[in-house]
Structure 1
Amino acid sequence: MIVTGENFEDMALCVNEIRRLHGGIVVAYDGEIVGSLPLPFAGLLSVGSIESVDAKLRFLHAMMDEMGCVLPSPFMTQSFLALPVIPRLKITDLGLVDVEKHEIIDVVRE
C-alpha cells in the first residue's frame, strides 16, 4: 500500500478506507473521504463496468486537481513507486530497494 498526503489524519482515513474496500484508490481532504475507487481483486482490479471505473477515476483526478496536485497522473505516479522492475529506488514489502544494485537500502542512519 502506498499512501501520500499532507497530514497523518487524512492519510489514516485513506488507509482505513482502502482496508475496508479490500484495495483501491481513496482521496481524503480535511478529515473526510471525498472519493474512492474500489479495486478488490489484488488491489488492482475492479468489479465495476469500464464506464463506472472511468467516471470514478475522472472524479478522483478532478479532486486531486482541485486540491492543488500538479501531477498530470498522480495515481499512476504513485503506482510506479512500488514497481520494483523499473530502475532506481523502489518501495517494496521488503523496504526501500536499489533496483540496479539489487540491494535493500537502510533508511535509518545513525
Structure 2
Amino acid sequence: VLRKRYRYPRDAYKTVRLARALKLTPDLPLRPCRANVIRTVLPGIILFHEQIEIEPARTWNTLLRRHDLCFVSVVERHGASGVVAHGLLKDFNLGDGAVASSVGHDAHNLIVAGTNEDDMQVAVEAIRKAKGGVCVVRRRKIVAMVALPVAGLLSDKRATEIARETTLLKRAWKRAGCALPYMGFNLIPLSVIPEIRITDKGLVLVPQMEILPLFEPTE
C-alpha cells in the first residue's frame, strides 16, 4: 500500500507551454473553394477524408450549419511556438461550445474542437491554467474539466477524486452532443491511422503521409 503521496518532479508540471496569442479558427473563405474535411464515423478509430464544395457566406456559423461542420485545431504545446493547424470536422455533432484536450496522441499536442472562436479560447485557456487536462465549454463557461497537470497527461489526485471528475466530464461530453467519446477525440491527431488526421503540421492524408491544405481552389 502506498502510504506516502508520490511527488512528481517539478518539471513534470511545466509541459503545457502555449504562446499567448493564438488564432484557433481559419479565415472565412471569400471565394468558392473545396474544403478537405475530417468525417467522423462511429466507433471513430478510422476517420474519413471528404471534400466539400464551399460557397461564400457572411459568417462561419452559416457555413458550419450548412455542412454539419465544426472547427478542429491542433496547437503545439511543448515549446510555445504559436503553431496552430486548422481543420474542419464533419458529423462530430458538437451542438454548441468547445471541447479540448492536452492528450492529443501521439505527440501529445493540444487539440480543440468547437463551434466558435470564443468558446475554443476559453477551453484552451482552461487547459493552460490547469497545466493540462480535458474540458467541455459552453457559452464561455467551463462545464466540466479533468485537470492533468503531470506532463499534461496524468492526474496527481487520488483515484476516487479523479473518478468523480471523469464521470462528470463524460456526462458533459455526451450532453454537448459529441459523436466521439473523449478517448476517441484524443486519437484525431494520431497520424498513423487512416484516412485523414490533423497534427500541428496540418491535415495529413494516411497512409500516403501527404500534407493537405484545408482549402483548395475550385477549377
Match of 1:54 among 147, 163, 168: 163
Q: Are the counterparts in 1 of residues 123 and 142 from structure 2 also a CA contact under 8 Å?
A: yes
Q: Residue 186 of structure 2 aligns to a residue in which SS?
A: helix
Higher Cα radius of gyration: 2
What is the RMSD computed on CA atoms of the aligned residues? 1.7
Match of 1:2 among 111, 115, 118: 111
Task: Supply the distance in 2 between the matched residues of 1:87 and 1:48 (Cα, whole angstroms).
Answer: 35
| Greater strand fraction, Structure 1 or Structure 2 | 2
Deviation at 1:99, TM superposition (A): 2.2
The aligned runs of 1:42-81 (5 Å cut-off) are 42-67=151-176, 69=177, 71=179, 74-81=181-188
After superposition, the C-alpha distances for 1:56-93 in whole angstroms (9 at most, x for unaligned) are 111011122333x153x521121110112222111112
Alignment match, 2:76: none
Alignment match, 1:98: 205
| Greater helix fraction, Structure 1 or Structure 2 | 1
Specify every segment of 5 or more residues in structure 2 that has no aligned partner in the other structure, as ranges.
Answer: 1-109
Greater RCO, 1 or 2 (C-alpha within 8 Å, sep 6+): 2
- Residue-pair matches, total: 108
- The structure 1 segments of at least 4 consecutive aligned residues displaced by more than 4 Å after TM superposition are none
Using the size of structure 1 for normalisation, the TM-score is 0.84
